[in-house]
Structure 1
Amino acid sequence: MRLRSLFAAAASGAALIVPVAAPSATAAPPGCDAADAEIYAAAPATVAGDPGDLLACRPAKLTNIPGDVPMKAWKVRYVSTDAKGAKNVVTGTVAIPDAAWTKGGSRPTVAFNPGTLGSGPRCAFSKQLAGEYVDMYEGGNLQLFLKAGYAIAATDGVGYLDGQVHTYMVGANAGHALLDIVRTSRQIPGGTLTADGKVGISGYSEGGAAALWGAQLAASYAPELDVAGAAAGGVPGDLRLTAKQLNGGFFAGFLADALVGLNAAYPEMPFDELMNGQGEQAIRDVRGNCLFGTLAVFLGARVENFSTDGLGLEQIYGIEGPGGVTWGEIVDRQKLGVDIGPASSGARYEIGFPVFQYRGWLEEIIPHETEDGTRQAYCAAGVNTTWKNTYPTEHLSTDWGAAGDVTNFLGDRFEGRPVQGNC
């Protein structure tokens, strides 16, 4: 199904976010019996523990993963690190197949970041996987990983605790949270994952950007993880290019999510005081809607309409905050493929494992220039990169159309098969 068709249903009033009865979960092992409210409770003023430390968990039944794959699953609450280096608290899901791992060594884990789901607390991937809302579309992708025997450590990303808003498209937040949930997955009472298990990183769209940030940060932030490979598709690697295309278009809701998400990560920067009445309502709309609701509300919206002075994107980029830092500088910090290199290169971000990047031939949301440019930056830096852009699909359907290739790519890396890349 094409994303335009899904969006048309949302815009015409179809109920795509449907609360359902919470499924029952298996009995919690000792030490993993937190109430659901405890998982998502507001973060404390001071966060104790090390990155990846498990703070709370509870068994979950993942009704939005099709196929009835026998598994044990948990919602988790854990420690991570934000873009400024401060500790924060993040939520997510861990799932381990019941079937024994028989391919040698320890069971590998796929660190997974979902594509855009929306910015409000109810949109969290862990809630949607457990059937609390229906506005997600990647259950089938996770089914493939589980059927292949891989565990899943799926982060919600930063900003899904009570009273928060998702820090959408903030690279360091996303990369840290994705790596840290792998650490967390090995601490669950009653879990079976071990520290020597290989790790694959995967995500599409927003999740693709998070996956590449996880790949770029792995060597410096989580050097103990044995990352075997990363797969990232539909990647908005340059937010300036992406924002220019989104502004005033069919998918302007993604731009609204990004603006509010950046403000959530950098609240010291001018933002609320710039808004007119329409802008204030826009912030409430972002915080109150999930994916399809956001797209419907912001259909054709332009950022120029939300500020008292009618500020355009370029004018917003020039606005200074404390210390003379501009919004443009903050946006540029999220750009992928900058200061990267292979292992032992001395680059700021060393990537010592193969990377698979991909996009659909009919991509209509993310500019081809930034997806192709991110791949070119990886190739120019000498990172082992496999690229595929021949899927006969648009944005959303590429996520599903490439899922088999992603599973096979990571499976080959887990089994130690070499890949030369096709730069």
Structure 2
Amino acid sequence: MTDFYTLLPAEHGDRPGQLLRTQAITIPQLDHRTRAWRIMYVSSDSRGEPIPVTATVLSTTSTAQPSPQSTPIVVYCPSFHGLGGPCAPSQQLLTGDEPLEQIREALDREWTVAVPDGENLGITGLGPHTFLAARAAAHVALDLARAAQSIPELTQSHPSRVPIVLWGYGDGGRATVWAAELAPEYAPELDLRGVAAGAVVTDPGALVRTQHRGPWAALALAGLVGLSRAYHHLPLRHVLTEDGRRVARHAEQLSVATLLAQYRQPLQHWCERPDPWNDAIWRFVLTRESRSSAATPAAPIHLYHGAHDPIVPVESGGELFIEYQRRGIEVSWREYDANHLRTAIDSTPEVADTLASFLRRPPTRVGPLPGP
């Protein structure tokens, strides 16, 4: 496993979506008809610089009898898995630790499923994961839609214009919303038909302020670590005490379950001030990450949320829904009588039905091909 995730000196690329490496794999929990590949491809970070990233692509479509119509690709962005270590979705799929409800639902509909690992989560030595850095997460998702179409074993099923839908939950929902807004400029050639995003974190500053103490306090710490990596050109860790810097270095290697178990202290316990989010540099970063450029998505968006979500308050998704409505963007809303984790599962069939309705729409306008 380690060899695949080690970036070779001669391995590089600067074209978003460029496929660098593929490897056929077997996912033990999925049926024998499912073919799978882990891939390494090129995307770009929060500053637009090229980066290598990894992902998993799964398909039940036979190359011997390709579909007469192009097989849709659903880019599924999972919720936050952790900052490092063996918690990349591509690794958890092999060990049997990755939740499969959404992936199975999409495969049962004979869609190709592409699951990104995210920036710095997977490739050896690049961590920690840039948790809450939405622009990079959006780039990674859109470039995965590009890269999946270059896998040789899928080229017979995927002609040049492939219907694409995006599906994400939690931090993955945040990634898909940003991807929808950035797609017209960043990836205009993609035939993006629609987006489904659950439990969307629209304002990471609000998340840090509401979760800086209590059972989910480690998420605030993880956000500080992730964003300080995404904006490594800024001195963001200056708000930490010496003990806090030690904890941050340790947290870089941990899964979300271990983070929540080990670091229950309020965020201020590790900081020089009680409100690190009010530091001038942090205010700049959190404001930049609160929304994208308020660009208009070129595809319809379905938002959903649990009414009793203790991690991402339902008001976060509701406010985004109202904003989109006011701007005349095609958007729908579904609220479930459940908490964060239960909503992710209960919503699966209905969300997949919504994505299927998006896929029945005519292709989006063809944009220019991306430059090198």
Q: What's the TM-score, normalizing by structure 2?
A: 0.90
Counterpart contact for 2:82–2:255, Cα < 8 Å: yes
**Could you give the per-residue CA deviations for residues 104-147 of structure 1, whole angstroms, max 9, x where no partner exists?**
6200000111111101131100000111x62x33x111000000
Counterpart contact for 1:251–1:298, Cα < 8 Å: no
Q: Distance in 2 between matches of 1:45 and 1:251?
A: 42
Tell me, yes or no, if structure 1 residue 48 matches structure 2 residue 13: yes
Report deviation, 1:98: 3.3
Letter in 1 for 2:70: S
Q: Distance in 2 between matches of 1:354 and 1:47?
A: 35
In structure 2, which of residues 283, 304, 310 is the aligned counterpart of residue 328 of structure 1? 283
Counterpart contact for 2:128–2:253, Cα < 8 Å: no
Match of 2:357 in 1: 412
Q: Distance in 2 between matches of 1:178 and 1:387?
A: 22
Q: Distance in 2 between matches of 1:90 and 1:52?
A: 10
In structure 2, which of residues 140, 145, 148 is the aligned counterpart of residue 185 of structure 1? 148
Aligned to 1:190, the other structure's residue is in SS state helix
**Could you give the per-residue CA deviations for residues 196-235 of structure 1, whole angstroms, max 9, x where no partner exists?**
1100000000110011011111111111100000000001
Match of 1:106 in 2: 70
Match of 2:115 in 1: 154
Match of 2:367 in 1: none
Tell me, yes or no, if structure 1 residue 97 matches structure 2 residue 60: yes
Match of 2:273 in 1: 310
Question: Cα gap change, 1:69/1:46 in structure 2, threshold over 3 Å: closer, same or farther?
Answer: closer
**After the TM superposition, which residues 252-291 of structure 1 pair with which residues of structure 2 at under 5 Å, given as runs?**
252-291=217-256
- How many residue pairs are counted as aligned between the two chains? 357
Q: Distance in 1 between matches of 2:10 and 2:71?
A: 36
Report deviation, 1:241: 1.4
Counterpart contact for 1:242–1:370, Cα < 8 Å: no
Report deviation, 1:42: 4.3
Letter in 1 for 2:118: G
**After the TM superposition, which residues 17-416 of structure 1 pair with which residues of structure 2 at under 5 Å, given as runs?**
36-42=1-7, 47-64=12-29, 66=30, 68=31, 70-98=33-61, 105-131=69-95, 134=97, 136-137=98-99, 139-160=100-121, 161-163=123-125, 164-192=127-155, 193-299=158-264, 301-307=265-271, 309-316=272-279, 318=280, 326-336=281-291, 339-340=293-294, 349-389=295-335, 391-416=336-361
Q: Distance in 2 between matches of 1:358 and 1:236?
A: 12
Q: Distance in 1 between matches of 2:115 and 2:5?
A: 15
**Could you give the per-residue CA deviations for residues 226-262 of structure 1, whole angstroms, max 9, x where no partner exists?**
0000000001111121111111121112111111010
Report deviation, 1:417: 8.2
Question: Cα gap change, 1:82/1:314 in structure 2, threshold over 3 Å: closer, same or farther?
Answer: closer
Aligned to 1:211, the other structure's residue is in SS state helix
Aligned to 2:153, the other structure's residue is in SS state coil
Counterpart contact for 1:121–1:162, Cα < 8 Å: no
Identity, % of aligned pairs?
27
Q: Distance in 1 between matches of 2:66 and 2:358?
A: 16
Report deviation, 1:43: 7.5
Question: Which is further off, 186-195 or 259-268?
Answer: 186-195
Q: Distance in 1 between matches of 2:224 and 2:190?
A: 32
Question: Cα gap change, 1:330/1:314 in structure 2, threshold over 3 Å: closer, same or farther?
Answer: closer
Report deviation, 1:48: 2.3
Aligned to 1:39, the other structure's residue is in SS state coil
Letter in 1 for 2:317: E
Question: Cα gap change, 1:339/1:277 in structure 2, threshold over 3 Å: closer, same or farther?
Answer: closer
Report deviation, 1:288: 2.2
Q: Distance in 2 between matches of 1:417 and 1:273?
A: 51
Report deviation, 1:280: 2.4
When the two chains are superposed, the root-mean-square deviation of aligned CA atoms in Å is 2.1
**Could you give the per-residue CA deviations for residues 63-86 of structure 1, whole angstroms, max 9, x where no partner exists?**
35x5x2612110000000111111
Q: Distance in 2 between matches of 1:125 and 1:44?
A: 24
Counterpart contact for 2:208–2:277, Cα < 8 Å: no
Q: What's the TM-score, normalizing by structure 1?
A: 0.80
Aligned to 1:154, the other structure's residue is in SS state strand
More contact order relative to length (CA 8 Å, sep ≥ 6): 2
Question: Cα gap change, 1:187/1:286 in structure 2, threshold over 3 Å: closer, same or farther?
Answer: same
Counterpart contact for 1:39–1:91, Cα < 8 Å: no
Aligned to 1:207, the other structure's residue is in SS state helix
Report deviation, 1:49: 3.3
Letter in 1 for 2:59: I
Counterpart contact for 1:47–1:87, Cα < 8 Å: no
Q: Distance in 2 between matches of 1:202 and 1:191?
A: 21
Match of 1:344 in 2: none
Q: Distance in 1 between matches of 2:11 and 2:226?
A: 22
Gaps of 5+ in 1: 1-35, 319-325, 341-348, 419-423
Question: Cα gap change, 1:406/1:45 in structure 2, threshold over 3 Å: closer, same or farther?
Answer: same
Q: Distance in 1 between matches of 2:350 and 2:287?
A: 31
Match of 2:368 in 1: none
